[in-house]
Structure 1
Amino acid sequence: MPTSSLFSVPARAGDGAPRITVELDGVALQVPPGCSVAAALLVSGVTRFRSTPVSGSARAPYCMMGVCFECLMEIDGEPNRQTCLVEVRDGMKIRSQEGARDLMAGAMEDHHEQ
């Protein structure tokens, strides 16, 4: 885990600052490198990261330090990642989480591989 802060507010698009490409729900985004996934998405204008399992209410990062779990998203096929604790990298595939995670999906996949 890096000791430097991943919660930095990167320069705005169009200022000549370097960018990397990530995919969010199938759409390519140009985001600043060197910050958390949550910070990169927020600075890119993303305001909805997931929905709640019970009411379907939209959720987005709140604490930006891994305490609240409001920023959960699927990153490179792995669900329930805290985006505020993961450094963004070029080529990442990020997906919004909608509702409850199917807890048996991973168990069934593991079972079929044996």
Structure 2
Amino acid sequence: MSARMLPAGSDPIRPGPTAPVTIHVDGEPVTGAAGQTIAGIVLANGRLAWRRTSSDGRPRGLFCGIGVCFDCIVTVNGDRDVRACQRRACDGDVVSSQHDELPEVHR
């Protein structure tokens, strides 16, 4: 065995057992694993979009996945503008889609 080889059972990166997490997205319960982000759980459950653009109502979901853009914003437990890709899900979180109309322009 060379110094660089690690026995498979000793791999520190290998995921261990995880606890289940259930969150409610727009009233629907979805499950995931402890440590997953809200976006990860929602995507793993087959939902690709959970927000609509203000100007055209186009669907948006995960875009950059690292918190740079704002395509994945949701409301979590009443807190608005939470980036779903950055927020780790906690059991019992209540997640709501966000869609804000553009403000009316007065001339």
Q: TM-score, normalised by structure 1?
A: 0.69
| Cα distance in structure 1, aligned partners of 2:73 and 2:97 | 8
Q: Quick check: which one's helix share is greater?
A: 1
Which amino acid in structure 2 is aligned with residue 46 of structure 1?
R
Which amino acid in structure 1 is aligned with residue 98 of structure 2?
Q
RMSD: 2.1
Q: Match of 1:35?
A: 36
Cα offset, 1:35, TM superposition: 1.5
Aligned residue pairs, count: 88
Larger Rg, first or second structure (1 or 2): 2
Render the CA deviation track for 1:21-41: whole Å, top value 9, x for unaligned: 100111111122211111111
Cα offset, 1:100, TM superposition: 3.6
Q: Quick check: which one's strand share is greater?
A: 2
1:43-62 mapped onto 2 (5 Å cutoff): 43-62=44-63
| Cα distance in structure 1, aligned partners of 2:35 and 2:63 | 20
Render the CA deviation track for 1:26-73: whole Å, top value 9, x for unaligned: 111112221111111111111111000110000011111001111001
**Any unmatched runs of 5+ in structure 1?**
1-9, 11-15, 103-114
